[in-house]
Amino acid sequence: MKKILGSVGVLAVVGALVLGATGAFFSDTETSTGNTFTAGAIDLTVDSTQHYNNMVCTLYTGTGQDGEERENGHYYWEGNGPYPAPGTPCDGTWLPADLGTQKFFDFRDIKPGDSGENTISIHVLNNDAWLRLLVNTVTDFDNSCTEPEQGTNGEGCTVNSPEGVNPGLGELRENLLFTVFDDNGAYPGHQCNNILDDDEEELISAGTIDSQGETWPLETPITGGQIVCFGVTWDLPFSTGNETQTDSMGATMEFQVEQSRNNPTPWDN
């Protein structure tokens, strides 16, 4: 009997050990997969619609206003202005693009009384951003000295270089007037319509470009995906004298954007 009870005791201990080896605490596991950080992007594209003496630089698609030969997909002057002639090529209008060789202004024969305007559309994709326009690399050349230019109250050019041309100190920059306005009116039909409407603001009023360039920042950020339009007009007044004959002015126009999130003071860093 003692042997039997002893065997039962051994079995009980062994059973306890077996039960202890197979037990477990309550538990649970949750797994989140695919965690990543991706940097945002800001992409800027620009388009332009050019006007010159009531003419519009227009993409030709087979609907020209006269019988002049044209090529589909190219730009030509259309309208009823005195100059340039309808149907002649132009290059100041283009669809939204990254800027490279495009020129907002490329005129080789302007005269007192001429004027023009470019409506420039800024497309900021993806994210909100600050925007500013820089006009720099300003040039102002006499190029050559006509007899009327030399006789203008000491203003004309001085023929003193080996080539017979003064390479600088032209007078066109000081006479060519620029106006910049916000073309984003609140009323229907006012946005990007090439006109300074009553609900729009004139940013720069009939002024000349400084010889060192200009910087024009917007005071509020542009919303990502928003299109913002500016009108840039130019005018060579009738009162301009012979001192500008053959002179030329050039500049680089650069649009810059910076993220606005976490950046209350753009351009300072």
Single-letter code of the amino acid located at 269: N
Q: What is the pLDDT of residue 22?
A: 58
Domain tally, the chain: 1
Q: Is 80 exceeded by the pLDDT of residue 162?
A: no
> Residue 92's closest CA among 108, 80, 81, 111?
108
Q: What is the pLDDT of residue 167?
A: 52
Q: Is 50 exceeded by the pLDDT of residue 161?
A: no
What residues does 131 pair with on adjacent strands? 257
pLDDT digits (tens, 9 = 90+) for 123-154: 998 899 999 888 889 888 887 777 676 665 44
> Residue 88's closest CA among 50, 46, 118?
50
Q: Which distant-in-sequence residues (6+ apart) come within 8 Å of 120 by Cβ?
A: 46, 47, 48, 104, 229, 230, 231, 232
**Chain-centroid distance, C-alpha 234:** 18
Q: What is the pLDDT of residue 95?
A: 93
Average pLDDT of the residues in 7-15: 48
Residue 118 maps to a domain: yes
Three-class HEC string of 183-231: CECCCCCCECCCCCCCCCCEEEEEECCCCCCEEEECCCCECCCCEEEEE
DSSP 233: E
Q: What is the pLDDT of residue 3?
A: 52
**Chain-centroid distance, C-alpha 26:** 62
Q: What is the pLDDT of residue 58?
A: 92
Residue 83 maps to a domain: no
In whole angstroms, what is the distance from residue 69 CA to residue 62 CA? 10
- Give the highest mean pLDDT range of 56-65, 68-77, 232-241: 232-241
Q: Is 50 exceeded by the pLDDT of residue 180?
A: yes
pLDDT higher at 160 or 150:
150
Q: What is the CATH number of the domain that holds 186?
A: 2.60.120
Q: What is the pLDDT of residue 11?
A: 45
Count CA within 13 A, CB hemisphere, residue 68.
14
- Transcribe 97-109 into DSSP letters: E--SS--S---S-
Residue 116 maps to a domain: yes
Flag the least confident range among 17-21, 24-28, 57-61, 235-239: 17-21
Mean per-residue pLDDT of the chain? 81
Residue 248 maps to a domain: yes
Residue 252 maps to a domain: yes
Average pLDDT of the residues in 43-66: 86
26 exposure class (CB count in 10 Å sphere: 0-12, 13-18, 19+): exposed
> Residue 256's closest CA among 204, 220, 218?
218
Enclosing domain of residue 195: 104-259
Q: What is the pLDDT of residue 166?
A: 44
In whole angstroms, what is the distance from residue 49 CA to residue 104 CA? 9
Q: How far is CA 202 from CA 118, 198, 216, 232, 259, in A?
A: 15, 10, 12, 10, 25
Q: What is the pLDDT of residue 105?
A: 92
Q: Is 90 exceeded by the pLDDT of residue 200?
A: no
Q: What is the pLDDT of residue 21?
A: 54
Which residue has 């066109």 as its token pair? 172
Please give the helix or strand (H or E) that residue 14 lies within, else none.
Answer: helix 2-22
Please give the helix or strand (H or E) that residue 19 lies within, else none.
Answer: helix 2-22
Residue 38 maps to a domain: no
- Give the highest mean pLDDT range of 32-36, 37-41, 47-51: 47-51
Residue 87 maps to a domain: no
Residue 82 maps to a domain: no
Q: What is the pLDDT of residue 23?
A: 62
Banded model confidence at residue 112, pLDDT cuts 50, 70, 90 = very high
pLDDT higher at 250 or 8:
250
pLDDT digits (tens, 9 = 90+) for 215-266: 888 888 999 988 889 899 999 999 998 888 888 889 999 989 999 999 999 9
